[in-house]
Structure 1
């Protein structure tokens, strides 16, 4: 079976506003909508975030959002959005269900006179991705970012979430890589693999990918993301499928190990998953290959996380050395005065016994006894 691949002309009706999208998410809507077709919009739940000026709920359609773009979008964005909206129709039914359940995939393009890409209609993340987070005496119900999986079980329990354990981390990463593999099969670059662009449900052990309406075919500008820079994608060049593979591997390594820095690399290399050594091998090839085009695919990582083998499609890549571990902060030392050894008090010099009145009378008595003895001897 030929794998689906999103290309121009994949759906001749992609921009046909009269053709409703085959979308199982509860609202049969046309693939293009005028701003006036949206009905009243509620107050923004997000503003000036990335390419969007605002994300506003549709009051007549609970569970749906209008993501409104900045006015300086590229002229081709309308066509790109139409391709994304039609893309699920090219997938097998099972993959289409996974994509809809695990992402806020755009359902319709919003337009107005003079602007064909005002924004898009997207579903709101399901309620299962919200949880009550405790911080001291306060608590806040909010979406749980996948950021939390890159922390220890103890830290996760500390905010009132159930600790995932190895099984929970594995299940979440399986779903994450399953979504990545579908995007890769569609020929789409996501680039934005990071802590802030996916939600995590500890109870359902699942993840939900957001900002997928920014996906582009084959390549896209590589926006700088602190701590997520691909060492083999030079600054100023585009992100592509190989950039995606590195960032996906980095995200999975951090979530699987609960480590946020170079310790994640070392933990993976230590092969803690003795029953699934393929996971370690795939991740190390993704993260340390010296040839970016030899990085394993998202599908290979997904297969390894599901207990399958790691079947390399290219010769084993040469790997770079593990990154240096971060230096441990120095142990706090007490002030200099406190570090001086405790000295024993010097012994007081011995003193001659004091001669008090009682000692004087004893001496007189002794002398008297001696004199009496001498007088008695002369008689």
Structure 2
């Protein structure tokens, strides 16, 4: 029920953001525990509970995307009534690299952050990373836009889109989003990474963030990752137009970056649609490996298939419904991620599930709980009203009896 049941294994990070430590759970390969610096507030704990159970209410298509591309929280770690940590699946090994040091030796395996996707080819090569060409960058942003669209569908405010909150895979562009556990629904307390300022949600006001602020951050991330231009997002946008031409995708990005009202910003779903449309028509330019197929690893990566960049065919967004999630999903061990199974064809009415504390990070698989269904009292049968009809029958019978007596009186000579 408490932290003692998620024993500490190899430490992955310390004193970073809201966490005091992130570590692999000893004896449970493929799972990590994130322990917070202080217990979550009641509001944050309630949001985390909803996040833990939300995938059980998703379509199979969305569950597939969650399993392949997101470090979704799967259970809360409780110390008495307080939430002090969370259990998540570790990213697949394909998202980790050993960076070359100046001495020529290599570091331990470390996550390949989006920051390296934006680095120059020379900078990557010096550290032993395969530089990302345009095809890889397009695939990475297609993956991230798909995740952003999923968040928007469920009114999830991610808020902190940046280079440090997602990983990518060399040679394929597969992407993996982390730090999901502090997301909120509808609005989220103001947060911002340095260099990711939003003109409509300025630091001086620190107003609550919404899905509309997410739209700007995701558009900014897109133009920066596709071009390698780190500073002014409009400079990155112009560089992108020079790179792939003016098209529905770049037009939609421009609107997201320049809208004077947050509600006028196109959402990630609109960016996905524009991306697919433009990809179907063929991006105007792709100077590096323009016609080369870029295979996507099925094992242990988290997508399958291949893409082609440049005319006549361009990369298309991988449909989560047809993406193959290798067993065991997006974990590196031998457990079934989140133990979710497809929902039954006939919905079962059940009471709301009780949130899991973490008696064990690897619970026995059970059928996914259905959303609670509000019930009302069944209408009672209405009593039939027959009193008026009954009275009419009585009156009619009495009249006929009187007529019969009257006729008998005269017929028999009764005086």
TM-score normalised by structure 2 residue count: 0.62
Match among 201, 209, 218 for residue 233 of structure 1: 201
Match among 214, 225, 228 for residue 182 of structure 2: 214
Q: What is the rounded CA distance, in whole Å, between the counterparts of 1:34 and 1:196 in structure 2?
A: 29
Q: What is the rounded CA distance, in whole Å, between the counterparts of 1:309 and 1:62 in structure 2?
A: 39
Q: What is the rounded CA distance, in whole Å, between the counterparts of 1:149 and 1:307 in structure 2?
A: 24
Larger Rg belongs to: 1
Match among 229, 241, 244 for residue 273 of structure 1: 244
Structure 2 unaligned residues grouped into runs of 5+ = 281-415
Q: What is the rounded CA distance, in whole Å, between the counterparts of 2:172 and 2:54 in structure 1?
A: 27
Structure 1 residue aligned with 2:94: 128
Higher relative contact order (CA 8 A, sep 6+): 2
Q: CA deviation at 1:191?
A: 0.4
Q: CA deviation at 1:181?
A: 0.5
Q: What is the rounded CA distance, in whole Å, between the counterparts of 1:246 and 1:294 in structure 2?
A: 11
TM-score normalised by structure 1 residue count: 0.68
Q: Say which SS state the counterpart of residue 160 (structure 1) adopts.
A: coil
Structure 2 residue aligned with 1:99: 66
Q: CA deviation at 1:290?
A: 1.4
Structure 2 residue aligned with 1:56: 23
Q: Say which SS state the counterpart of residue 8 (structure 2) adopts.
A: coil
Q: Is the alpha carbon distance of 1:134 and 1:56 closer, same or farther for their aligned partners in structure 2, counting shifts above 3 Å?
A: closer
Which structure 2 residues correspond to residues 26-65 of structure 1 after superposition, within 5 A? Answer: 33-38=1-6, 40-65=7-32
- The answer to whether the 8 A contact 1:35-1:111 is kept is yes
**Residues 190-234 of structure 1: CA distance to partner in whole angstroms, max 9, x if unpaired?**
001001111111133211111001110011111232110100113
Q: CA deviation at 1:43?
A: 4.9
Q: CA deviation at 1:152?
A: 3.0
Which structure 2 residues correspond to residues 1-379 of structure 1 after superposition, within 5 A? Answer: 33-38=1-6, 40-115=7-82, 117-138=83-104, 139-140=106-107, 141-234=109-202, 235-262=205-232, 263-268=235-240, 270-274=241-245, 277-307=247-277
Aligned length: 274
Q: Say which SS state the counterpart of residue 175 (structure 1) adopts.
A: helix
Structure 1 unaligned residues grouped into runs of 5+ = 1-32, 311-379
- The answer to whether the 8 A contact 1:48-1:54 is kept is yes
In the TM superposition, structure 1's runs of 4+ consecutive aligned residues that sit over 6 Å from their partners are none
Q: What is the rounded CA distance, in whole Å, between the counterparts of 1:37 and 1:162 in structure 2?
A: 39
Q: Say which SS state the counterpart of residue 119 (structure 1) adopts.
A: strand
